[in-house]
Amino acid sequence: MFTLKVDHEIELQLFQRHHALSLYKLIEENREHLREWMPWVDSMASPYQIETIIPVWLNQFAENSGMNVGILYRGELAGSLGLHQIDWYNSMASIGYYLAKNAEGHGIITRSVKALLNYCFFQLGLNRIEIRCGVKNNKSRAIPERLGFVKEGIVRDGEHLNGHFHDLFIYSMLAREWNSRI
């Protein structure tokens, strides 16, 4: 099982079937909080749906096309971090994340994304990582901005969310830029 120790408080663990109930509980307890920016929240209506998606995620990991990990903060599931759409030809991927409301304000996502970037650039050898955030999602936008990503522009009507389209900022980090920060 893939595990990445971020620091003394945070560990990233590849989601396994036994995580389904914990993940469903986190989503259920944070449904209103997550619904504002996560278009899939309402479709996760039972633990069974989580149980059926985890094998898909495991298959993506086995095929080196993506990765979905739980963020464990002090041993408890606090959120999720995903490495999506790995494009090996162009050596790029995107990162997505969410966090339980009661876990905000501890730098959990920033530290987790930083560790995942190190993994992407130094272990996987990727060249480019993107993060897309809703233009009005200030908390999510703070992560790439804090980590020194370049804001490349706006994807107009880039995501359908809660019955309407909204714009996304697209941020990127290149391996050479990340290496110069270390």
Please tell me the predicted confidence (pLDDT) of residue 40.
Answer: 83
CA distance 29 to 165: 26
| pLDDT tens, position by position, 68-107 | 999 999 999 999 999 999 999 999 999 999 999 999 999 9
Looking at per-residue confidence, does 180 or 105 come out higher?
105
Q: What's the pLDDT score for residue 44?
A: 83
Beta strands in the chain (DSSP E): 3-5, 10-14, 67-73, 76-87, 92-99, 128-134, 150-161, 164-174
Q: Residue 34 above 90 pLDDT?
A: no
3-128 CATH fold? Aminopeptidase (3.40.630)
Could you tell me what percent of the chain has a pLDDT over 70? 99
Higher pLDDT, 150 or 180: 150
List C-alpha distances in Å: 81 to 57, 163, 165.
Answer: 12, 25, 23
Confidence of residue 157 (pLDDT cuts 50, 70, 90): very high
Q: Dump pLDDT digits (tens) for 113-127.
A: 999 999 999 999 999
Which residues, 6+ apart, have CB-to-CB distance to 24 below 8 Å?
Answer: 44, 46, 47, 49, 50
| pLDDT reading at 182 higher than 70 | no
Q: What's the mean pLDDT when you consider all of the chain?
A: 94
What is the spatial distance between Cα 115 and Cα 92, in angstroms, rounded to a whole number? 17
Cα–Cα distance between 45 and 24 in angstroms, integer?
Answer: 9
User: Which pLDDT band, with edges at 50, 70 and 90, does 39 fall under?
Assistant: confident
What average pLDDT does the segment 48-76 reach?
Answer: 95
